Structure formats: structure tokens, C-alpha cells
Amino acid sequence: MILIGYFAFAEYKENRQLKISNEYNSIVTEYSKDKKEKTKNSLVDIIYKNDPTYSPLSLYFIIDNQLITDRLNINILFDNIIKNTSLDKEIKNLIIYKKALYNADDIRENELLDILNPIINSDSIWKSQALYLIAEYFYSKEEKQKAKEFFNQILLLETTNQDLKIESQKRLNRDLSE
């Protein structure tokens, strides 16, 4: 009985995934400027289905096509995916990073740090990118000492991408040297 239940549940999950996949592909394929509202509503529905593949894709489509322009509503959708969707740890960190990137131009320092804290306080592969975003944020705000501290943290990380290390070193040497 348990074995039958297990296979039935696996079949149900596979059918659900296929249905969401077909729904997403249909919505995206049929998208046009005159169907913006319908497309937006359908994609938001997919986001709230908390599918690990199609919920994030739906959000990115909404953002890319400016179907929702209100930052608060976009952040609510980001938060739903981050909190309610069963995601691999690094995929979740990537979505957190994208949320920070989406908001970086319009938020205060403490809000940016709050968004990125789960990544910064971990050994995530996205940690160096998060530190770089914060460093560039401070640099753009003319807070050079804070920017310098974050660029230096990037250089100290063993897992930092080599290109990111080079860019951080360039920024330190060119713009932040004393």
C-alpha cells in the first residue's frame, strides 16, 4: 500500500509539473502588448503555485516585460518565491541576489544589507557577487571607506571568481587607493 501511494504521489507531482510547464509556455508564447493584464494575472498565478522552475521564470518574465512596475508588488512576489518555494539552497540565494539587484538603486543601505544577509553570512557561491553589489552600492553613494572594506572582503574570499577579484582589485587601485 505504501509503495502504491509513493508511486501515485510521484505520478501526481510529475503531472502537476507538466501542467504548469505547458501553462507557462502557452502564456509566454501567446504574450502580446494587448494581453498584458491577462498575461500578468496568469503568471502571478504560476508564481503562487510555488513551482521551483516556473515560479521564478514567471517573475522574471513579469519584470523583463514590465507587466508589474510597482516595486512593492514585485518584492512581495520575490518574497513568496524565497519563502514558500522548495528550492535548492544556491538557487534560493541566486533569487535573493536578484531581489537585491532589482532593488539596489532605490533602497537604503540597511535594506540592501537585510536582503543580502543570508548570502553574506553563508558560504554561498553567490557571496562574492553579493559583496561586490554592496561595494558598488557604497561606491555609488560616495562612501568610499565602506566600499573599500567590501572590495577587500572579496579579495580575501577563496571562492571568489577570478574576474570578480580582478575587477575588485582594479577598483581598489584606481578609485580607492590613498
pLDDT digits (tens, 9 = 90+) for 22-50: 999 999 999 998 999 999 999 999 999 99
How far apart CA 178 and CA 165 sit, in angstroms, is: 19
pTM for this structure? 0.88
Contact between 95 and 82 under an 8 Å Cβ cutoff? The reply is yes
Task: Answer for the pair 133, 110: CB distance below 8 angstroms, yes or no.
Answer: no
CA–chain centroid gap for 110, Å, is 18
Compute CA 135 distance to the chain's CA centroid, rounded to the nearest angstrom: 18
How many Å apart are CA 32 and CA 9, to the nearest integer?
Answer: 37
Q: Are 60 and 30 in contact (CB under 8 A)?
A: no
- 60-69: average pLDDT: 97
- Give the percent of the chain with pLDDT over 70: 99
DSSP 69: -
The answer on pLDDT for 178 being more than 70 is no
Position of cell 536582503? 115
**CA-based diameter of the chain, in Å?**
72
* C-alpha grid cell, residue 147: 566600499
